[in-house]
Structure 1
Amino acid sequence: MVPRILRGTCVSETPQLSVVVPVYNEEDNVAPLVGEIVAALRGKVDFEIVYVDDLSKDATLQRLQALKANTPELRVVRHLSNSGQSTAVRNGVKAARAPWIATLDGDGQNDPADIPKLLAERDRAAPDTKLFAGWRVNRQDSGSKRWASKWANAIRSRMLQDATPDTGCGIKLFERIAFLDLPYFDHMHRYLPALMQRAGWKTVSVPVNHRHRASGVSKYNNLNRALVGIRDLRGVAWLIARSRRTAVEEA
């Protein structure tokens, strides 16, 4: 396809990478994060940025629309009803045009400078490795959130045997087709390594940077994470137990 050219920047209709960012009420974080994504990737890979606004109540959508004037890589998708992070990620992936997807949380705690590191890991990995998950080795959250995450990861790892130290990290790199083939449910983004492994693919955890939230407030607390997580964990364990895979050939 013919690339489109805006303000001296060539943007392909079929980029190599789509960066998907779900957001809800992050008006002060969108401009800094978009700028960091552009700085990390422009000139290194043919990319697009797909923001998914989960019907924010603040000026998030308006600020994203204003950024499009000077960021030709930026596309904006808007939910017509508030639907949560997993749905936003999935709709962003469905709207994406690249064969590989990088995801970032919209709060700015993930560092876009880590995306080239994930791409380098992909390039030297085996072809059947379809997910490269960020691993926050030096988390900048509160002590209570780190404690809760530590125990949740331990329980999840014991039940699902996914060999992943940190499934809650928002920065990930995965193949678009492999992701869209996974079973969809709310909060599925927390179980991507186990779901990818259930589908027969390998996954790798990659140490990444983690930062303090610069603006806005978290949309989760330890209690609602725990209550939802118990039900989801049992559901994913059931999916794994009921999984059946086989190679096929044309007869």
Structure 2
Amino acid sequence: MNYEFTIIVPVYNEEDNLERVETAFNDYFKIATKSTKVLFVNDGSKDKSQELIETICKRSPNFEYISFLENRGLSAAIKAGFDYVDTPILGYIDSDLQTAPEDFNLLLNHINHYDLVTGVRANRKDSFVKNMSSTIANGIRRTFTHDGMDDTGCPLKVIKTDFAKRIPMFNGLHRFLPAMILLQEGKIIQIPVQHFPRIAGTAKFGFWNRLIGPLQDCFAYLWMKKKYINYTVAKKG
């Protein structure tokens, strides 16, 4: 099949969610506005996630996977997804399904005119502490990046693949994807999407690594912004 759109799904110890992920995407494939496949990136899970991923991939050609030798973190999983995607457009969603695959259609409506379309979680269903720490972290990032995004941590994004592959990823920079597209002089927009409570598995980030990590990463971003190489070819022959 000639796929147009690949959705990256990072996985770390999500055995309780993966069958739900399979069902949700099989439903989405029926309504997707572009021919779509899913790329699982198993980030060195210690549970039965890999076994379940392989079973899902055997059941349908719309699913494929890569699996890390050891746990390397969310930024590494997203970067690996960027590296392995072979379609002109890619997306990203967390395997906890706190956002809905069906909302990719909302983002895809805008991808012809923008280089990154990110969701902004409306009526978030997280705890007060998680919501507050996320709000503070997003405020810190906006102060440093001036990207105008209200929810850069939203795990529902669509990006043109050629832009995604040029992002110089480091640990923590998955939180700065809109800003990294702006460094390439790309265009970005945010669109409200649904949000749901986590009903299985456990969150991988706590209060402090939602605050301290983003603050440290902001300084890395400022250094990168100062050193970033950008050019446009005017003519070749």
TM-score past 0.5 threshold: yes
Change (3 A) 1:243 1:105: same
Query: Cα distance, 1:120 vs. partner?
Result: 1.1
Q: Specify the code of the residue in structure 1 equivalent to 2:226.
A: A
Aligned residues: 235
Which one of the candidate residues 67, 75, 82 is aligned to 2:64?
75
Q: Distance in 2 between matches of 1:38 and 1:233?
A: 38
Cross-structure match for 2:7: 19
Query: How much does 1:195 deviate?
Result: 0.7
The 3 A distance-change label for structure 1 pair 56 and 239 is same
Q: Does 1:165 align with 2:145?
A: no
1:190 maps onto 2:178 in alignment: no
- Superposition pairs of residues 198-209 of structure 1, within 5 angstroms: 198-209=183-194
**Counterpart for residue 151 of structure 1:** 136
Structure 1 residue ranges (4+ consecutive) displaced by more than 4 angstroms after TM superposition? none
Check 1:181–1:244 CA distance in 2 against 1; reply closer, same or farther (3 A cut).
closer
Question: By how many angstroms is 1:99 displaced?
Answer: 1.0
For residue 19 of structure 2, what is the aligned residue in structure 1?
Answer: 31
Distance 2:62 2:230 in 1: 38
Any conservation in 2 of the 1:41–1:116 contact (CA below 8 Å)? no
Structure 2, unaligned stretches of length 5 or more? none
Deviations 1:44-94 (A, max 9, x none): 421111001111111111111111232220101100111011111111222
After TM superposition, give the deviation of residue 210 of structure 1 in Å: 0.7
Query: How far 1:199 sits from its partner (Å)?
Result: 1.0
Residue of structure 2 equivalent to 1:98 = 87
Offset at residue 43 of structure 1 (A): 5.7
Please give the TM-score of this superposition, normalised by the length of structure 2.
Answer: 0.94
What's the TM-score, normalizing by structure 1?
0.89
Partner of 1:113: 102
Alignment partners' CA distance in 1, 2:227 and 2:174 = 20
- For structure 1, the residue ranges without an aligned partner over 5 or more in a row are 1-11
Correspondence for 2:209 = 224
> Structure 1 pair 230/77, CA: closer, same or farther in 2 (3 Å)?
same
- Work out the CA distance in 2 between the residues paired with 1:246 and 1:186: 25
Aligned counterpart, 1:61:
50
Alpha-carbon separation, structure 1, partners of 2:66 and 2:162: 20
Supply the distance in 2 between the matched residues of 1:208 and 1:36 (Cα, whole angstroms): 16
Distance 1:96 1:229 in 2: 27
Structure 1 residue matching 2:58: 3-state secondary structure: coil
- Aligned residue type for 1:229: P
Gap change, CA 1:42 and 1:94, over 3 Å in 2:
farther
Distance 2:86 2:227 in 1: 32
